[in-house]
Chains A and B, each alone.
Chain A
Amino acid sequence: MIATAPARGPATDGRAPAAPGSRTAGAVLLRRLVLPLLVIALLIAAWDVAIRVLAIPPYVIPTPASVGQALVKERARLLENAVPTVVESLGGFALGNLVAIAAAIAFVHNKTLERALYPVAVAVRTLPIVAIAPIFVLMLGNGYAPKIAIAALITFFPTLVNMVEGLESADPQALELMHVLSASKTETFRYVRWPSSLPYLFSAMRIASTSSVLGALVAEWIGTNKGLGYLIVLTTYDFRTALLYAAMVVTSAIALAFFFLVSVLEWLLVRWER
């Protein structure tokens, strides 16, 4: 049996454990929420003033009030068109991230595969998304498939790059420790590589959460008659600028909601980074 340590203060050899943050919850709320909202309010006010002072016609730029009215009056139509965009963005986000994570895991365990496929992935990335969109519509038809594919494609690349980096970021000493413990490749992955990669994965997913909405939107410009992308194109041609701006506000709200969801998930799962 081991003798235990003589009674003694445990923190004699260094600093005490980190004290809880000195900033209060109220101060955090002010900095995180109130300040950006204030900036947005100022921008809207400036927008309104500019239209009046410069006498800009409403079909070029609508007033903030008319955009607000469009949001309320056309809410049924906006909602109806928001549903397909949300489905496509979420589907593309999930698909793109899953494929990217799987590819990153394969790359880290097989260097030949990485050398063969990584440049191809980079090359695909350089193709302009507006050019790929019609090609996907030709191949996959008019349904959800081409939109999900494009949202997935736009999501894929940042996650692949970050995930490969994240899996490689594991502490070399932790990897050596796993070797000393005769851990299997699966165990090394589960105990060290996967958790090490999570902060990288989440920073990629934060980018993807908004860009997947962008992907779905671009895909809806062609070959469809529903979705916020379609609504944006339609209202632009019809000079219904107030509704166009309302559609933009809804799109932005969806992207922000996704971003927020990913951030909450990160906050819950990556506790040790806080």
Chain B
Amino acid sequence: MATVDIACRGVSMVFGTGPGAVPALGDVTLDVARGEFAALIGPSGCGKSTLLRLIADVLQPTGGTIEVRGGPPMRARLAREFGFVFQHAGLLPWRDALANVSLPLEVGGWGRRHAPPHPPEALLELVGLQGFTHAFPRQLSGGMQQRVSIARALVTGPPILLMDEPFGALDEITRDHLNQELLRIWAATGTTIIFVTHSIPEAVYLSNRVFVFGPRPGRVTAEVRIELPSPREPALKDTPEFGRYTAALRRALAASASA
């Protein structure tokens, strides 16, 4: 068994207290190995994004423990061991693409205390935005903005990437394109990725392992290992194996919804 990067043990999360309390997650246990691409899939409101925020130390669990690279999530956050990609790019509109990518280097003086693993310009190139370094967010399409936000998440060279439905708001053509880019980046950086999505084909195409979430309270109802060859090409989506995986996931999601 490879090194475990992220370990969740009986994690539960309740928002609020008393009779109005909302249970968002109940007893989630899962491991993600170093270098793995794990997808979390499930219906809206099943707590996938909440779990991602617990791992990122944005929220604190009400029960259970989370370890990120052998320590509490707070240690990983302070050490910048993960980058976070949001559903909407969340770029600062007054900074151009390059300044947005450099932001994590400026905050806390990180860039002065550490040698950045990749110059911000190289990261913009990595996400295919050479020539747009000085474009402002409003001059960029949704897909381009999301590429900037991926470059921003990678600029401190984090060993883990947490992605919260990063392509959910994009059209399918752009999404397919960025899926391919993400696989290329994953291959180039060897980052551990946890990827929240609503899309069954996206989960199968991208990941090594899919955790299926069921609603109220959110919990893992099934785990599907995707044993498709890498590197993956778009033609893979037309193969019978790919279809078998999407069918299996569809069944697992239907079962978890009725459970």
Contact = CB atoms under 8 A, between A and B. Distances in A.
Name the prevailing secondary structure of the A interface residues.
Answer: loop
Contact of B107 (A12, A181, A271): A181
B188 A3 contact: yes
Nearest to B175: A13
Contacts, number: 106
B129 interface: yes
Given A10-B129, A12-B177, A272-B93, A181 B136 contact: no
A182 B144 contact: no
A195 B137 CA distance: 15
Contacts of A270: 94
Interface residues of B, number: 54
B131 A13 contact: no
A22 interface: no
Contacts of A187: 107-108
Interface string B136-161: 11111111100100000000000000
Contacts of B135: 17
Interface in B73-91: 77-78, 80, 82, 84, 86-90
Contacts of B82: 180
B132 interface: yes
A176 B50 CA distance: 13
Nearest to A181: B107
B141 A271 contact: no
5 contacts: A5-B128, A17-B135, A17-B139, A176-B58, A181-B80
Interface of B: 53, 56-58, 77-78, 80, 82, 84, 86-90, 92-94, 103-104, 106-108, 110, 118, 122-123, 125-132, 135-144, 147, 170, 173-174, 177-178, 181, 184, 188-189
